[in-house]
Amino acid sequence: MNWIGEVLVSPGDGGVYNERMLGGQRVWDPFRSKLSALYYAGKAIELTPDMRILYLGAANGTTVSHVADYSETVYALEFAPRPMQDLLEVARRRGNIVPIMADATQPDQYAPLVEAVDLLYQDVAQPDQALIAVRNSVFLKRGGHLILMLKTRSVDVRKEPAEVFHDTLDVLTAAGLVVIESVWLEPYHHDHAAIVCRKP
């Protein structure tokens, strides 16, 4: 990953969402992107130019655009029409983003469009986040990684965030994934945890 001093940047053309530029690279703000916050916490997987990534919950492509700056191909999945319009524009300007309008709970529907990937990144803020990750782990190569962004309040507002966090770890582990990092994203994102797993 590229750091200029203590600032995370990505090496691509700017002007995607009025992001700042520094030393000719795009500033990747940890307050605007949970994945950036995870890099600031020192816990994320390094992105490399040969990586293929399945990104669930692409929204308008803000974080996707930074991921694409570092990797070979990003399959970017989003099911809401409005952010999809913005995502299509981001993909039009970058050759390595494959936008897919589909529901992440239905992997069979987009399986014909997605190759085996090195990294599965999930940021969908849904009650069944852990199960969605498990279902989509079929796309992960052996030795590949999952990064799950867990919005604890989306899972169950009646439960304490720590309880939701531990329940999620249990679901992932029961599915055969090996948890290698887990961290809260404070002070950048409240009630959000990141869980990094490896598929053995």
Contact footprint for ligand SAM (CB under 6 A)? 33-34, 57, 59, 62-63, 77-80, 83, 103-105, 123-126
Of 5 and 94, CB closest to ligand SAM: 94
Cβ 142 to ligand SAM shortest distance, Å: 25
Q: Which two tokens stand for residue 13?
A: 């053309």
CB of 23 or CB of 78, closer to ligand SAM: 78
Question: 75, 113 in Cβ contact below 8 A?
Answer: yes
Minimum CB distance to ligand SAM smaller for 32 or for 159: 32
Looking at beta carbons, which residue is closest to ligand SAM? 57
Give the shortest CB-66-to-ligand SAM separation in angstroms. Answer: 9
Burial classification of residue 60, based on how many CB atoms lie within 10 Å of its CB (0-12 exposed, 13-18 middle, 19 or more buried): buried
The smaller minimum CB distance to ligand SAM, of residues 5 and 153, is found at 153
Q: How far is the CB of 200 from ligand SAM (least distance, A)?
A: 26
Closest CB to ligand SAM among residues 26, 200: 26
Q: Tell me the closest approach of the beta carbon of residue 36 to ligand SAM, in angstroms.
A: 9
CB of 10 to ligand SAM, least distance (A): 13
Q: Of 1, 12, 111, 117, which Cα lies nearest the Cα of 55?
A: 117
Assess contact for 59 and 67: CB atoms under 8 A: no
Nearest approach in angstroms of CB 16 to ligand SAM is: 11
Choose between 96 and 105: whose C-beta lies nearer to ligand SAM: 105
Angle 54-56-58 from CA coordinates, rounded to 5°: 105
d(CA 64, CA 76) in angstroms, rounded, equals 7
